[in-house]
Amino acid sequence: MTRIDAKFADLKAEGKKAFVAYVMAGDPDYDTSLELVKGLPGAGVDVIELGVPFTDPMADGETIQLAGQRALAGGMTLDRTLSIARTFRENDNTTPIVLMGYYNPIYSRGVDKFLVQAKEAGIDGLIIVDLPPEEDEELCIPAQKAGLNFIRLATPTTDDKRLPKVLQNTSGFVYYVSITGITGAGEAQPADVAPEVARIKAQTDLPVIVGFGIKTPEASQGIAAVADGCVVGSAIVAELAKGKPVNEVLAFVKTLSDGAHRA
Partner 1 sequence: MDDLFNSFMNGPDEKGRFGNYGGRFVSETLMPLILELEEQYEISKTDQSFWDEMNFLWKHYVGRPSPLYHAERLTEHLGGAKIYLKRDELNHTGAHKINNVLGQIILARRMGKTRIIAETGAGQHGVATATVCAKFGLKCVVYMGAHDVERQKPNVFRMRLLGAEVIPVTSGRGTLKDAMNDALRDWVTNVRDTFYCIGTVAGPHPYPAMVRDFQAIIGKEAKEQMFEAEGRLPDTLIAAIGGGSNAMGLFYPFLDDKDVNIIGVEAGGKGVNAKMEHCASLTGGRPGVLHGNRTYLLQDDDGQILEGFSISAGLDYPGIGPEHAWLHDIGRAQYVSITDKEALEAFTLCCDKEGIIPALEPSHALAHVMKIAPELPKDHLICMNMCGRGDKDIFTVAKYLGFDMD
Q: Known catalytic residues? A: 49, 60
Handedness of CA 203, 258, 5, 167 (dihedral sign): positive
Q: Which lies closer to partner 1 via its Cβ, residue 39 or residue 181?
A: 181
- Range 129-168, binding partner 1 (CB under 8 A): 129-135, 152-159, 162, 166
User: Does residue 28 have a cis peptide bond before it, meaning omega lies within 30 degrees of 0?
Assistant: yes
- Which residue number, 14 or 159, has a Cβ lying nearer to partner 1? 159
Cβ distance to partner 1 smaller for residue 111 or 251: 111
Minimum distance of partner 1 from residue 57's CB (angstroms): 8
Give helix 246-262 / helix 217-225 axis angle, nearest 10°.
Answer: 30
| Amino acid at residue number 230 | C
* Residue with Cβ nearer partner 1 (88 or 175): 175
Q: Exposure of 13 by Cβ count < 10 A (0-12 exposed, 13-18 middle, 19+ buried)?
A: exposed
Identified binder of partner 1 from the candidate list 2, 29, 107, 216, rule CB under 8 A: 107
Q: Determine the Cα–Cα distance for residues 248 and 120; give it in Å rounded to an integer.
A: 32
Sort residue 209 into left (φ over 0), alpha (ψ -120 to 50) or beta: beta
- Give the residue with the Cβ less far from partner 1, 183 or 221: 183
Of positions 111, 146, 185, 225, contacts partner 1 by CB under 8 A:
185
Note whether 83 binds partner 1 by CB under 8 A. Answer: no
> Segment contacting partner 1 (CB under 8 A): 141-149, 179-187, 192-200, 233-241?
179-187
Widest CA span in the chain: 47
Q: Is 78 in the site for partner 1 (CB under 8 A)?
A: yes
Q: Is 115 in the site for partner 1 (CB under 8 A)?
A: no
Least separation in angstroms between residue 204's CB and partner 1 is 15
Cβ-based neighbours of 235, under 8 Å, separated by 6 or more = 184, 214, 215, 216, 252, 256
**Least distance CB 136 / partner 1 (angstroms):** 11
Euclidean distance between CA atoms 10 and 201, whole angstroms: 19
CB of 243 to partner 1, least distance (A): 21
Nearer to partner 1, 171 or 257 (CB): 171
Give me the least distance between CB of 12 and partner 1, in Å please: 26
Strands (E), 74-166: 97-101, 125-128, 149-150, 153-154
Residues 35-74 that bind partner 1 (CB under 8 A): 54-59, 61-62, 65, 69, 72
Q: Would you give the DSSP letter of residue 41?
A: G
Between helix 111-121 and helix 78-89 the angle, nearest 10°, is 30
Q: Which residues bind partner 1 (CB under 8 A)?
A: 54-59, 61-62, 65, 69, 72, 77-78, 102-109, 129-135, 152-159, 162, 166, 177, 180-182, 185
